[in-house]
Amino acid sequence: MDTKKRLIYLIIGPVLFAIASVALKGTIGGPGAMAIGTLLWMVFWWVTQPVALTVTAFLPVGVNAIFGMVEMGDVISQYSSGSIILVFGSCLLTIPWATTGLDRRVALKVLSLVGPSMKSQITVWLLASMIFSSCLPNVAVCALFTPIAVAMIHAAGYEDIKKAAPAVPILLCIGWGAGLGGVGSPLGGAMNVAAIQFSRSGQDMSSCM
C-alpha cells in the first residue's frame, strides 16, 4: 500500500468515529454513539489495514482512555477473557503441523488409504473437517486442512490447483465441514464461547437485536 493511500485510510477511520459520535448522540447517548463510532473505525481499519491488525484490536483501549465511555477495567477485562485464551490455545495446537511438514505426510497417507475415488475423498474430508472443528476453531481447521488437501492434490499429479477438477469439491467440503462441525463444542470457535457466555449471564438472543 502506498503512503498516500495509507494516510487517507488512517484519516477516514477517526472521521467515521466523529460522524457516528455526533449523529447518534441524540438517539442513544454519548457513550453509545462513541461505541458505535469505535466499531465503525475498527471495521474500516480491519478491512483496509492501514495499520497492523493488532493495533486496531487495541483501539478501544485508546479511545476509551481519551473519552471515558465506560470503566477502563471493563474494557481491559475483555482482553484477558478466559474465552479468548481458550480459542487462542486451540489455535496454537495447529502451528507445529505446517512447520514440521506433517501436513504433507498426512496428505500422502490420506491418499494411500482413501484412494483416488472422488466420493470417498469428499466423504473423508467432510467428516474429518467436522470432527476436527468440534475441538478446534473453524478458521484453524480450514487453515490446517487446506494445505494438506492441496498437497494431496499435487501428489495425485495435478500441478495447477486452479485447473484441477478435484480441487473445488474437496476444498468446499473442508469449508462446509468446518462450519457444520464448529457447533459441536465451545472450542469450535469464538461464536460458541460468546453464545455460552450470553446464556450463562441470563441474556437471550433478543437482547442482541
Q: How many CA atoms, within 13 angstroms, populate the side-chain half-sphere of residue 124?
A: 19
Residues 126 and 36 in one domain: no
* Biggest CA pair distance of the chain: 65
148 inside domain: yes
| 128 found inside a domain | yes
Query: Higher confidence at residue 198 or residue 102?
Result: 102
108 domain residue, yes or no: yes
Same domain for 177 and 92: yes
Classify residue 101 as left (phi > 0), alpha (psi -120 to 50) or beta: left
In the predicted structure, residue 200 carries a pLDDT above the cut 80: no
Please state which of the ranges 41-50, 171-180, 190-199 shows the lowest mean pLDDT.
190-199
- Asked whether residue 197 carries a pLDDT value surpassing 90, the answer given is no
Residue 83, domain member (yes or no): no
Out of 19, 44, 78, a domain closes at: 78
- Share the mean pLDDT of the chain: 79
Is 61 found in the same domain as 109? no
Cα–Cα distance for residue pair 155/57, rounded to 1 Å: 40
Residue that the C-alpha cell 494445505 belongs to? 147
d(CA 20, CA 198): 27
So what's the pLDDT on residue 163? 79
pLDDT of residue 15: 95
Percent of the chain with pLDDT over 70: 78
Q: Which residue has the higher pLDDT, 205 or 105?
A: 105
Domain boundary among 78, 99, 125: 78
User: Is 138 within a domain?
Assistant: yes
Confirm if 129 and 145 have CB atoms less than 8 A apart: yes
Confirm whether 199 is domain-assigned: no
Which domain, by its residues, includes 113?
Answer: 88-191
Q: Within this chain, do residues 138 and 54 fall inside the same structural domain, yes or no?
A: no
Count of CB atoms within 10 A of residue 119's CB?
8
pLDDT tens-place string over residues 54-93: 889 889 999 988 988 888 888 887 777 665 666 676 667 6
For residues 53 and 122, membership in a common domain is answered with no
Identify the pLDDT of residue 19. Answer: 94
Evaluate whether residue 183 is within a structural domain: yes
Query: Does 17 fall in a domain?
Result: yes
Domain count for the chain: 2
